[in-house]
Amino acid sequence: MPSIILSTLNARYIHSAFGLRYLMANLGDLQPDTQIKEYVIQDRPIDIVEDLLQVNPRIIGLGVYLWNIEQTTQVVALLKKIRPQTLVVLGGPEVSYEYQEQAIVALADYVITGYADREFHALCEGLLQGTTPPDKIIHAKPFALEEIRLPYQFYTDADIAHRIIYVEASRGCPYKCEFCLSALDKTAWSFDLDTLLAELALLYDRGARQFKFVDRTFNLKIDASLRILDFFLQRMTPGLFLHFEVIPDHLPDRLKTALAAFPPGTLQFEVGIQTLNSEVQALISRKQDNGKSLDNLRWLREHSHAHLHADLIIGLPGEDLDSIARGFNTLAQARPHEIQVGILKRLRGSPIIRHTDDYRMVYNPHPPYNILSTSLIDFPTLQRLSRFARYWDIIANAGHFTATLPMILGDDAFGRFMMLSDWLYAHTGQTHRFALDRIFDLIFTWVETTPGVAATSITETLWHDYQRTGMKKIPRFAPQGTPRTTHPARQHQPPAAPKRQSKHLP
C-alpha cells in the first residue's frame, strides 16, 4: 500500500495532470511508495474520498486549480472528517496566492505555494520520519531547472493512447500582462534542449502523437523553436499533432519557412491577441504590435496549414462595448479558424486587482471569478457578452458552419452575431445542452425570420454544412428530393487529426 497519494480533479478525462507527474519524478527514494490517482470534476467527492482511502495513505497531495477548487474543497472536508489522521497537502496556483481566507486552506494540513517540484519531496520525507514543519504554509524555494527531473516517463501507455500529453520547453514569461499570473515571473527559463528532445523521442517511440506545449511563449527564442519544429518534421507521420502558444507579433522569416513545411492537421497555434485597443494594452502592461500581430495571423492563414486559435478577453479595464466590437471585427477579418472569446477572470495573485477601484471592477466572488461589471460595461451587457462567447464557441469555433457563418456575419461579424446570440437566448433561454441538429434548425429559423438576411442562399450553404456533419436525419431546410450525401473532403482528412480542429479543414 502506498504511503503517498498524488491526486487532482481534471476538467476532463482526456486531460492529464502534468504537475503530479513532476512531483512524482522528483520524489527520489519515495517514488516506490507513491501512487498517482486522477479524477474528473464530474466525479462525486464522496466517491473520490472512498477511492483515495482504500489504500490507507499517510499523505495525500492534491493539485488545486481554478476549475476544481470547489469540488476539491469538498474532498478535503470529507477526508478530514472521515480520517483526520491522514495528512492533506495542497499545491497549485489556486492556493499559492491570497490563501489566508480560503476554506480549503483552513481544512488542509499543509500548503506549498509556487513550484513544488522539490519542496513536496522534502515535506513528505520529513513527515514520514515524524518531523513536523514549523509552518502550515510552505513557500517553495527557487531552483534552477537543471536541478529537477523531467516527468515524461510517468505518462503511462494508457495516457499516451487516450490523453493529451503535456510537455514544456520553458517555464515563466518575460511579459507583464496583468490579467495573467505569469506577470509575476521575472523572465522565462529554458530547459536543456538536448535533454528535452531526448525525452520527447522516447515518448514518440512509445506511440505519443499529440503533444501540447504549455510554454507561454514558444516562439520567444527562435533558435530553440526551430530545433523543436525540426525534431517533429523529421518524425512526420499521420496523426502527429502539435499545440503551441505563440507571441503574435514575433514571426521572423526563418520561422515562417519551417512552419510552411508542416502538412494540414498537424499544427495548432494559440495566439493571444487579448485586446486590440492600444490604450487598454498600455493600461494592463501588455506590449504588443497590433499591426505585426494581424499581419502574422493573415500570413499564417494564407501560407501555412496551422490551425489558428486566437484569444480575446472581454471585460478588461478601460474597454467599452464599442472597442470590443471593433477589436472582434478586426480580428475576424484576419480569419483565424477559432476566436476564443474569454470573459476576464480575476486570478488569485494577478496584478489586475490594482484597477478594481478606478474602473469599478466587480468580480464574481465564486470560481471562476469572472468579471460581472465595470465602469464601462454594466452587468446586463456583460451577461449578453457571456452568452455571445458561449454561442460563438458552439457555432463558430466548433467548425460545423464553415460555409454558412461568413454569409451570416457579413461585414459586421460582432454586430450580426450579437443579433443571433440575443435571438437564440430569447427563444431558448439556454446556453448549454444543445443537440447539433437543433442548432441547425434554430439558425434556419433565425435566417427565415430576420430581415436583411439572404435566406435562400444561406439555406443552401446551411444544407451544405449539415451534410458535412454526417447526421442522417433530413432537416426541414433540405432541398426537396435531395438525398443526403457525405462531403467528399471529409474522407481525406488526416486520420487521427483532433476532432474539433479537423472540422475546420476544407
For 105, residues 6+ apart whose C-beta sits below 8 A from its C-beta are 90, 95, 99, 111, 137
One-letter amino acid for residue 305 of the chain: H
One-letter amino acid for residue 120 of the chain: F
Residue 464 CA to residue 487 CA, distance in Å, equals 8
For 122, residues 6+ apart whose C-beta sits below 8 A from its C-beta are none
199 and 265 part of one domain: yes
Distance of CA 281 to the CA centre of its chain: 22
Residue 31 CA to residue 115 CA, distance in Å, equals 19
Task: Check: CB of residue 372 under 8 Å from CB of residue 362.
Answer: yes
**φ/ψ of residue 244, rounded to 5:** -135, 145
Task: Check: CB of residue 89 under 8 Å from CB of residue 120.
Answer: yes
Last residue of a domain, one of 338, 353, 377: 377
Q: Is 382 within the bounds of a domain?
A: no
Task: Check: CB of residue 450 under 8 Å from CB of residue 415.
Answer: no
Rounded to whole angstroms, the maximal C-alpha distance in the chain is: 79
Residue 149 CA to residue 161 CA, distance in Å, equals 24
Q: Sign of dihedral through CA atoms 347, 353, 358, 362?
A: positive
Q: Is 370 within the bounds of a domain?
A: yes
Q: Is 466 within the bounds of a domain?
A: yes
Give the pLDDT of residue 489: 44
Q: Is 209 within the bounds of a domain?
A: yes
Task: Check: CB of residue 262 under 8 Å from CB of residue 304.
Answer: yes
Q: What is the CATH number of the domain that holds 363?
A: 3.80.30.20
Q: What angle do CA 208, 214, 217 make, to 5 degrees?
A: 130
112 and 211 part of one domain: no
34 and 135 part of one domain: yes
Q: Element (H or E) spanning 380, and its range?
A: helix 379-392
Give the pLDDT of residue 479: 86
DSSP code of 370?
Answer: B
CA distances from 281 to 176, 197, 275, 276, 316 (A): 11, 36, 7, 8, 9
pTM recorded for the entire structure: 0.92
Task: Check: CB of residue 7 under 8 Å from CB of residue 54.
Answer: no
Last residue of a domain, one of 377, 409, 426: 377
Quote the domain boundaries for residue 472: 393-506
The total of other beta-carbon atoms located within 10 Å of residue 229's CB is 20
| Coil, helix or strand at residue 334 | coil
363 and 425 part of one domain: no
DSSP code of 86?
Answer: S
Instruction: Using the structure block, give the residue that is written with the C-alpha cell 472582434.
Output: 328
Task: Check: CB of residue 348 under 8 Å from CB of residue 93.
Answer: yes
Q: Is 39 within the bounds of a domain?
A: yes
One-letter amino acid for residue 350 of the chain: S
Residues of the chain where predicted confidence (pLDDT) is lower than 50? 486-496
Give the pLDDT of residue 505: 65
Give how many domains the chain has, as a whole number: 3
206 and 83 part of one domain: no
Number of C-alpha atoms within 13 angstroms, CB side, residue 229?
A: 24
Retrieve residue 184's grid coordinates: 509575476
311 and 230 part of one domain: yes
Q: Element (H or E) spanning 412, and its range?
A: none
404 and 456 part of one domain: yes
Residue 119 CA to residue 23 CA, distance in Å, equals 9
Give the pLDDT of residue 482: 64
Q: Is 178 within the bounds of a domain?
A: yes
For 379, residues 6+ apart whose C-beta sits below 8 A from its C-beta are 362, 372, 373
Count, residues in the chain: 506
